[in-house]
Structure 1
Amino acid sequence: MRKRAAGDTRLLWLLLDANRWLVTTLLSAVLFCGLLAVGLLHPEPAMTLLTRGDPVETLFQALITGTVTAVTLVLTLNQLVLSQELGAVGDQRERMDGAMQFRADVADAVDTAVSPAAPSAFLRSLVRGTSERAKNTQNAVDETALDDDLTALLSNYLEDVRTNADSVTDQLEGGTFGEFDVVKAALNYNYSWKLYAGRRIREAYADELTDEIDDSLAELVETLELFGPAREHFKTLYFQWELSDLSRTLLYVAIPALTVAITSLLFLDVQDFVGVTAGVPDALWFLAVTTTASLLPFTVLISYILRIVTITKRTLAIGPFILRETNRSVDVDWE
């Protein structure tokens, strides 16, 4: 996935891989340093600015209102997550039948009696299944006298499938659902291009492929088709898991943030901070610390939403739709 990223991979690491509390800390640090920098660089002294009218009181009143609104947002998020689980018994039975049928289809595709139950093992069996199908197809190609260009095309395509599949299989080994590792490994498998290329090769060279090679390619394409809905299903479950964590975390930090904002509004006066520490007015230290603490629910919210929207942007399409640059080992495009 990082090789296919158009931007800085360090930014991608921050958006996806980094611990959400680390991202929250970085966002809070940017806010804190920004407040200090503006207060120090402003031509008017910080004490003059903070005592002209009642900007501090107005600020904390707005922060209290915003924090209460954030708690309301938590309830909305919880309702969103719960709405996916609530339903009549008929609806639940239909969901169960669909899940069991899909598991049976995957079991048939990967030649096993029962498909794995753990998400990481389930995806790993599918990815490993594509690697095995690609290996079977390569064996059929090696045993058949084909045109040199077609042989090279098939070999490059199948080698790319096996290499990517083996890498993702290793990444999925021991993955625990609820952590980002499972979803990240699934994102690293660019099945869309492999599905598109496989279908294109079968269509373009239908007259030149033997029945054995065509059947093997068809099995590979069918297995790739199963990976798409499996990835989307576990991505949806991960989003529900992540939103639940976000809701709980927001509730945890809302009370301390409200305490800081209310205490600063009712019991602290900026005019009491008249000293200077480390070259920075104490009033400015007070404002930066209390504002950053009061905005903690929002920095937590931003840190979680950044990962969710990044994953969503990278997985907008399902199936052989390619919305961004990707690693194309073979060229099978034509007008």
Structure 2
Amino acid sequence: MSDESTASIQTREENPNVDASDVDEISTSNTMRERAGETRVKTWVVLDGSRLLVTGMMALLIFGVFVFGGTFFYQHYLTDALTADTVETVFSTMIAAIITGVTLVLTISQIVISQENGPLGDQHERMSSTMDFREYTKELTGSPVPADPSKFLRALILESKDYATNLRDSVADNDNETFRGEVAEFTDSLVENADAAADRLKGRKFGSYTVVAAGLDYNYSWKIFQVERIVDEYADDISDETLTVFNDLKTILSIFGPARQHIKTLYFEWELISLSQNILYLSVPALIVAGFITTYFGGSAITGESLGVPNLIWMTASGFAVTSLPFLLLISYIARLATIAKRTLAVGPFILRDSQR
């Protein structure tokens, strides 16, 4: 039996109220994707991929489905298009949908922008709270707090890594082998996770998802819980010096939580404004295409074939894909923001994911 297994069994015997998973899974994977058990493809589509590229891929999917379906499945499409004004009906409906969608997005933008407005007293209070937080962080780290969000998060992560290293050194001569083993496993996991997250944050600029992604990879909640659990279970074996290091590590991890939440909130506002701008840009060509097809092209106006496919199908498929772009862009942005919001609902040592509960 390995030392790690022996340590886990001894700990459970000493404290039967501790769940076995809390002991056996001290170390965790270094990325949010691995901890959640998601595939690379799903993670790229929902989170990592460029929103414009994902939107384009969905538009190509719609285009392909229309061409394939109209050519091989719906053999009566050409007849209906010639006799029932199908093309005009579809694209006149798209015009109404585009206008409604743009209005909705503009409303969202106004709500986001209104969050930044307020009387002078409220603005002063926000500024004071921010400066107090920065001063407190400066006292903990011993150096000025970076102004760049990615550097700020990176500084906190590296600071927690230093405390973890100090913690491992402080228990090196402890007589309790089980205690040393759990601290070693915990600190090794923290250092590895910190290095991975810090590398992803290095040189990143705010506004890109990579800054938030690296912050999400650093699961500070689990680390706070492990600090509290180890201190509680081995209270009799912990010296005052080691306890101080434990408390310092817990404090810096606790600072990382609200810091990440604040940067996430700023990122949400940034993305929603970017979404509004991009939808406004896409809505103009989408309206032009829908209006042009409705006004100047009827089912009888498009004849002939290209590559074995009726030109009418090429026209309706491409037109519908283009007019769907504003809605598809909205889907791609909301998918990312909703996923991030779901995975960061709790602040502090609360684990909501089934994969690590």
* TM-score clears 0.5: yes
Matches within 5 A, 1:1-335: 1-112=32-143, 114-142=144-172, 144-325=173-354
Q: Quote how far apart the aligned CAs of 1:42 are.
A: 2.4
Give the secondary-structure state (helix, strand or coil) at the position aligned to 1:86.
coil
Task: Quote the Cα distance in structure 2 between the aligned partners of 1:146 and 1:267.
Answer: 86
Alignment deviations for residues 224-278 of structure 1 (CA, whole Å, 9 cap, x no partner) = 0000000000000001111111111111111110011111111111212221211
Task: Quote the Cα distance in structure 2 between the aligned partners of 1:56 and 1:13.
Answer: 35
Task: Quote the Cα distance in structure 2 between the aligned partners of 1:43 and 1:209.
Answer: 74
1:4–1:325: 8 Å Cα contact kept in structure 2? no
Alignment deviations for residues 189-237 of structure 1 (CA, whole Å, 9 cap, x no partner) = 0111101111111112112211111110111001000000000000000
Q: Quote how far apart the aligned CAs of 1:326 are.
A: 5.5
Task: Quote the Cα distance in structure 1 between the aligned partners of 2:284 and 2:114.
Answer: 26
TM-score (norm 2): 0.88
Q: Quote how far apart the aligned CAs of 1:2 are.
A: 2.2
Task: Quote the Cα distance in structure 1 between the aligned partners of 2:43 and 2:175.
Answer: 43
Task: Quote the Cα distance in structure 2 between the aligned partners of 1:146 and 1:273.
Answer: 86
Task: Quote the Cα distance in structure 1 between the aligned partners of 2:109 and 2:86.
Answer: 35
Alignment deviations for residues 290-325 of structure 1 (CA, whole Å, 9 cap, x no partner) = 111111111111121121112112212111111115
1:46–1:281: 8 Å Cα contact kept in structure 2? no
Q: Quote how far apart the aligned CAs of 1:286 are.
A: 1.0
2:86–2:299: 8 Å Cα contact kept in structure 1? no
The letter of the residue matching 1:126 is L
Give the secondary-structure state (helix, strand or coil) at the position aligned to 1:320.
coil
Higher share in helix: 2
Task: Quote the Cα distance in structure 2 between the aligned partners of 1:55 and 1:260.
Answer: 16
2:137–2:145: 8 Å Cα contact kept in structure 1? yes
Q: Quote how far apart the aligned CAs of 1:31 are.
A: 0.6
Work out the number of aligned pairs and report it: 326
| 128 and 312 in structure 1: CA distance in 2 versus 1, 3 angstrom threshold | same
Q: Which moved further from structure 2: 301-310 or 176-185?
A: 301-310
Task: Quote the Cα distance in structure 2 between the aligned partners of 1:65 and 1:246.
Answer: 20
Q: Quote how far apart the aligned CAs of 1:108 are.
A: 1.4
The letter of the residue matching 2:257 is G
1:260–1:294: 8 Å Cα contact kept in structure 2? yes
| 168 and 133 in structure 1: CA distance in 2 versus 1, 3 angstrom threshold | same
Q: Which moved further from structure 2: 271-280 or 189-198?
A: 271-280
2:153–2:256: 8 Å Cα contact kept in structure 1? yes
Q: Quote how far apart the aligned CAs of 1:168 are.
A: 1.1
2:303–2:311: 8 Å Cα contact kept in structure 1? yes
For structure 1, list consecutive stretches of 5 or more residues without a partner in the other structure: 329-335
TM-score (norm 1): 0.94
Q: Quote how far apart the aligned CAs of 1:146 are.
A: 2.5
Task: Quote the Cα distance in structure 2 between the aligned partners of 1:150 and 1:26.
Answer: 52
Structure 1 residue runs of 4 or more that deviate by more than 3 Å after TM superposition = 325-328
Task: Quote the Cα distance in structure 1 between the aligned partners of 2:125 and 2:355.
Answer: 37
Task: Quote the Cα distance in structure 2 between the aligned partners of 1:30 and 1:212.
Answer: 61
1:46–1:283: 8 Å Cα contact kept in structure 2? no
Give the secondary-structure state (helix, strand or coil) at the position aligned to 2:84.
coil
For structure 2, list consecutive stretches of 5 or more residues without a partner in the other structure: 1-31
Task: Quote the Cα distance in structure 2 between the aligned partners of 1:259 and 1:73.
Answer: 20
